[in-house]
Amino acid sequence: MTQEKAKKRGRPAQLLQIAELHAFVEFLLEKRDRSELQNQVITALQTEDFNFEMLSEAQQILVKEALKPYREHLKLQLLFDDLSKNPRQTEYEEKFLELYKGYQKDTLDPAETNILKTMCTRYLSFKAHKLELSDLELYLSQLQKKEVSKKRTAENHRKFELGGAVLAAFKELGIDISNDTPKEIQNSIRNMTKFHNNVTKSKIYQEVEKYKNGYFERNKIFIDVLNGLHTWTKEGVTLTQVEIQKVLRKNNE
């Protein structure tokens, strides 16, 4: 009698519903990149017609393990659907919705995904225990500070990388900028870019473009054409000198 009562009081073995397993497999089949574990789970469930009790003990363990991220996904999805119905959201809810949209598009990095999950857990706990809104606002404030710090760090890292790229480019060009100020280097880059743009807009360069599509080959031909034009002479005066004098006279008018 006592044993029978103890049995009744004991926790019954967990039975997973067939409907949930069907939905779980459908979810996995929609994924582009499935793990070996997920493929094994799909095969095991389909073989046993989604009857969890028919699986071996090892297969049951695999299914339970694979179900964890799926149930986490459902929790996020349900909260997103629930909050989306509200005509007005708090700042915390807006942040969750924003992150979830990135989660849907698979654009969140691991840290952002963890933030999304934490926000979901805290929000559900807040609702369940009817906590003060200030608890959520405090977490959101801490989160925003971390995001600002992360953005600043990323920007500084980007500046460092760009600085290294500039130094490497000048070194490859054989230009010594060791004594130049940042402003002088900035002016050098701007002036070189302007000159390059003006060259590519010139009539000679545009004529070369009609014959060659490759950027480096076009540039080589352009220089060869300029040097070739310089060989044209009349009475000891080159075509280049004639054009220079013409431009100088025009500018002095």
Tens digit of each residue's pLDDT (9 = 90 or more) over 32-50: 788 888 889 999 999 988 8
Name the residue among 87, 78, 115, 123 with its Cα closest to residue 99. 115
193: number of Cβ within 10 Å: 10
Contact indicator for 48, 55 with CB cutoff of 8 Å: yes
pLDDT of residue 230: 87
pLDDT of residue 123: 86
pLDDT of residue 170: 87
- Looking at residues 19-29, what average pLDDT do you find? 88
- Looking at residues 211-220, what average pLDDT do you find? 86
* Tally: H helices and E strands in the chain: 11, 2
pLDDT of residue 154: 82
Secondary structure (DSSP) of 76-104: HHHHHHHHHT-SS--HHHHHHHHHHHHHH
Q: What is the pLDDT of residues 52-106, one digit of tens each?
A: 888 899 988 988 888 988 999 999 999 999 999 888 888 888 889 999 999 988 8
pLDDT at 2 over 70: no
d(CA 93, CA 84): 9
Q: What is the pLDDT of residues 222-232, one digit of tens each?
A: 899 888 888 88
Name the residue among 38, 43, 45 with its Cα closest to residue 22. 45
- Looking at residues 125-129, what average pLDDT do you find? 78
Name the residue among 42, 43, 47, 54 with its Cα closest to residue 16. 54
Q: What is the mean pLDDT of the chain?
A: 83
pLDDT at 143 over 60: yes
Q: Tokens 């934490």 correspond to what residue?
A: 118
d(CA 216, CA 30): 46
pLDDT of residue 248: 87
pLDDT at 191 over 50: yes
- Looking at residues 152-173, what average pLDDT do you find? 87
